[in-house]
Amino acid sequence: MARASRIAAVMAAARMARSLQAFLLAATVASCHAATRAPAGGIGLKPDAAEGIETASTAVAQLRRDIDALFADPALARGFWGVLIKSLKTDETLYTLNACKLMMPASNMKIVTLAAAVEKLGWDYTYETTVRIAGRIDNGVLEGDLVVVGSGDPSLMAADGSADRLFSRWAGQLEAAGVRSIAGRIVGDDNTFDDETLGFGWSWDDLPDDYAAGVGALQLNEDAVRITVVPGAAAGDVAGISVVPAASGLSVDNDVTTSAAGLPPSIAARRLPGSPRLTLRGTIALGAAPIVESVAVDNPTLFFVSAFRSALIANGIDVRGPAVDIDDIGDAPARSDGRTIVAYRSPPLSALADRLMKASQNQYAETLLKTIGLSAGAATAVNGRTAVQAILQPWGVAPSEVIQRDGSGLSRYDYVTPEALVTILAYVDRDPRLSAPFVASLPIAGRDGTLSNRMKGTAAENNARAKTGSMSNVRALSGFVTTADGERVVFSIIANNFDAPAETINRTADAVVVRLATLSRSKRP
């Protein structure tokens, strides 16, 4: 009798443990907004339907085993992965691993920024740049300043000649208005944006590089210049340096020397925050091919108006005053003064999104974050982040799931859950107002953008569309892929804190996406 009581007690305890385990599992799933899965069996269905569901269930179970095997690679043991994969057709969770954990997303943060931007601004949104004359025109001479007012257009490029063509057209419009000479200054009015050009939490040693270029209301050539380094005539000579566009505002200290022929180059750039002084150190081998570096300017506004001033002179308009940032002068003309001669609008957001996402252009993302903030009252990153949270909450993304500090993901203070990224992507995909241009902006596996050389020759090539993310010890890949049955799947795969080579991490993420592309629920065992 005592033995029976003990058995009963053990069985009761086991039932209680199972109930608690089930409760905790349900709570975990609920907190992560997991989708309800399709039934595993075929109860209440015709035999052929039941068999079809069983086949589908078997296919998904095999998918999970295959993905588990990929992540079981010993080379990945020290890293941390967050993964969520869902069917857009059924909302079924096909695979999940740490989906509710906050992860550094790198450039997957651009998914958050673009989604919020298009919801707030619309795909037709454009940036306006105006040129105003502040003063009277007397016998072809503008007795005053020429003021350029920007609103953040990130798309005007010098590298492809489009800036020269546009500035030439503006010069023609000034001449048509009777201006052949400007007695005053070329003033850059950047007051639409705040003066904080850099993102919160950016590493100081990133700042010389073009991917860490600051943003402003007036922007040219993505606020970066091209520096070309050539070897000297003999070993030990100082290397030659050229800067294009020349009116960069940078002061270059050249400490690069010419080394013996055949030695590998070693060139490092350094510029402190808020300083125009760029130091280049290192060596370039005698007889070596030129080395080209793209570096960020210090003051985007001064860079813009300096280039515009040079273009006006090249197009026959005499400019007697200097190019200046409106923040550096105390007698700036008011925006209400004078009249507008030029009103130029950028390409729409639907076109800008391609450069943002396919090339992973950080400056575009930071510009959009401030533009979102402007629509909410002031063009600051803080306002932008607050507005993004307000946009995402009705979509089912809690503030605790997206900790945003910049627009691009360059900050190591950014954190996002894979669940949040999947929720955002699924919402955008299902909203006809948002979907088509957003999906079109994503890199295509094996074809273009940052995925042009990945997943080639696989079922994912020209199939998967996804945003990459890459910085030290962070790799991310989130987007869409279509299975062998034509079922569209949304996924987010993020790796943090790994010690394996980045190529190993990318190959693992790619292998997951390729496996999804081969998934078939309809094939019978």
pLDDT in tens, 439-473: 999 999 999 999 999 999 999 999 999 999 999 99
Task: Provide φ and ψ at 84, rounded to 5°.
Answer: -145, 130
CA distances from 471 to 106, 195, 262, 347, 496 (A): 6, 26, 31, 29, 10
**Residue 287 CB partners (closer than 8 Å, separation 6+):** 231, 261
Per-residue HEC secondary structure of 479-521 comes to EEEECCCCCEEEEEEEEECCCCCHHHHHHHHHHHHHHHHCCCC
User: Which structural domains are found in the chain, ordered by start?
Assistant: 53-124+350-517 (3.40.710.10), 127-346 (3.50.80.20)
Collapsed DSSP state (helix, strand, coil) of residue 59: helix
Residues forming beta bridges with residue 144, ordered by sequence position: 135
Collapsed DSSP state (helix, strand, coil) of residue 127: coil
Which is catalytic among the residues 87, 306, 346, 360? 360
Collapsed DSSP state (helix, strand, coil) of residue 291: strand
| Residue 77: predicted pLDDT | 96
CB 312 within 8 Å of CB 184: no
| Residue 337: predicted pLDDT | 80
Strand 323-325 relative to strand 186-189, pairing: parallel
Q: Tokens for 79? A: 């890293």
CB 368 within 8 Å of CB 170: no
Weakly modelled stretches of the chain, pLDDT under 50: 1-14, 16-31, 33-53, 525
Q: Is 456 exposed, middle or buried (0-12, 13-18, 19+ CB in 10 A)?
A: middle
CB 241 within 8 Å of CB 252: yes
Query: 110 an active-site residue?
Result: yes
Cβ neighbours, 10 Å, residue 382: 15
Q: Tokens for 442? A: 């994503």
| Cα–Cα distance, 256 to 229 (Å, whole number) | 8
Query: 400 an active-site residue?
Result: no
| Residue 32: predicted pLDDT | 61
| Residue 246: predicted pLDDT | 87
| Residue 524: predicted pLDDT | 55
pTM equals 0.88
Collapsed DSSP state (helix, strand, coil) of residue 522: coil
Which is catalytic among the residues 110, 120, 370, 467? 110
Collapsed DSSP state (helix, strand, coil) of residue 284: strand
**Residue 176 CB partners (closer than 8 Å, separation 6+):** none
CA distances from 467 to 111, 279, 471 (A): 7, 34, 14
| Residue 16: predicted pLDDT | 43
| Residue 11: predicted pLDDT | 45
Cα dihedral sign for 518, 484, 61, 93?
Answer: positive
Residues forming beta bridges with residue 269, ordered by sequence position: 280
Cβ neighbours, 10 Å, residue 61: 11
Which is catalytic among the residues 86, 87, 107, 492? 107
Give the rounded distance of the alpha carbon of 459 from its chain centre. 26
Q: Tokens for 113? A: 């920024």
Query: 350 an active-site residue?
Result: no
pLDDT in tens, 336-354: 788 999 999 999 999 999 9
